[in-house]
Structure 1
């Protein structure tokens, strides 16, 4: 009796997943990327459908692809499907992004800080904790406040557009 009940439980779970994928797709993708996609990299996945297709072809043509690249390939395939359904990823935001979970927005998802390549969960949680109730005037001030982020992470966030036109330093020029 146990194997039959176990199989029924798997089928019921498959129906639940399918229902959310059809009727609440953003909730499905937010959960999938937050829980299952450990190889999500904002540099590739948030760059648009063309960049995702290029990276998929690059990994598929690489005979010596590592396990990390194979995991990234699976994530990229789901990202491609996400883009085909007309959704988009919002730009990471230093004030609104969560540490580890994707947030559903209007017609898209807001990626968390852990999607930045090499940024770990501890640094992301620390960043979310230290930004509470603060308004930063420069990238330099943000970097000093969130001291678990390395210079490389700050540069990556800058390249991803997370600072949205914020000044590099707190210095003011008069002339």
Structure 2
């Protein structure tokens, strides 16, 4: 659909990473419980890869059956007939990565706990609590509601939070160029930095936004906020001044405060009143923000002809 990799969880907390999306594609969750399971699986150690993932791929289990959160071990064992104290002790050992004693394995088998479940417990090194997994899931679903029902507001909020890494010279280009930049960055990610990974995720959201029919308006010296993305109209978002290269949040704030005293008459007037240097003026010019604004008020011989 309308997402670079056909996964609509781009930009959702805990659900937008490469690993989380791959888990979603493999398990195809359809209920809230499934999402809680995924949240637990993605935050544990040796819970998913080489464990639950293999069980699901082999057809032994579904997302509903695998061990996703630590609490599930105790409740499952009690349901299977084990004493509550023994069930709790097993959960505690497993969640801390201490495996099972021979006596605990025997007790589980006496109550027909399947071998795959016992082996899965023995592989786990750390498990996430279900309460945390549920809280993360609720938070993600709340944000997902806005992404679906108020997309412009969602994208404005997402990009505003990440404005320091939003570069309009790359991210406000036509959709096909966004895609090219994203694909090039993806090829280089193995040797890239954490910042490049964050930029990649932003590019994915920009591309998705374009596929949903929402575009960026040109950055406007007179209307753009210092740091906040704004909705101009349905399908059109105005980036802030600090989305320009070389324009920090502090410098953007200086420009906004200076323009409150009246329109800039020339580029020299802008530089003087806002206290910005040549590199900022060059960035504003490259972004099309200074179109129609003369460099200075000095007349030349050619102006008089």
Structure 2: stretches of 5+ with no match in the other structure: 1-70, 72-128
Q: Does structure 1 residue 91 correspond to structure 2 residue 218? A: yes
TM-score, normalised relative to structure 1: 0.89
Q: Tell me the residue number matched to 1:165.
A: 292
1:34 deviates by: 0.6
1:119 deviates by: 2.1
TM-score, normalised relative to structure 2: 0.53
Residue among 274, 280, 287 paired with 1:153: 280
Q: Tell me the residue number matched to 2:57.
A: none
Q: Could you say what the CA RMSD is over the residues aligned between the two structures, in angstroms?
A: 1.9
Residue among 157, 160, 173 paired with 1:31: 157
Q: Tell me the residue number matched to 1:41.
A: 167
1:37 deviates by: 5.3
1:18 deviates by: 1.2
Q: What is the 5 A alignment of 1:11-22?
A: 11-22=137-148
Q: Report if the CA contact (8 A) 2:227-2:252 is conserved.
A: yes
Deviations 1:89-142 (A, max 9, x none): 111111111111111111211111221123222212122111103112222211
Q: Report if the CA contact (8 A) 2:163-2:242 is conserved.
A: no
Q: What is the 5 A alignment of 1:126-145?
A: 126-145=254-273
Structure 1 residues 58-67 or 155-164, which shifts more? 58-67
Q: What is the 5 A alignment of 1:47-86?
A: 47-62=173-188, 63-86=190-213
Q: Tell me the residue number matched to 2:304.
A: 174
1:16 deviates by: 1.4
Structure 1: stretches of 5+ with no match in the other structure: none
Q: Give the ranges of 4+ consecutive aligned residues of structure 1 lying more than 4 Å apart after TM superposition.
A: none
Equivalences, count: 173
Q: Report if the CA contact (8 A) 1:37-1:75 is conserved.
A: no
Q: Which has the higher contact order (CA 8 A, sep 6+)?
A: 1
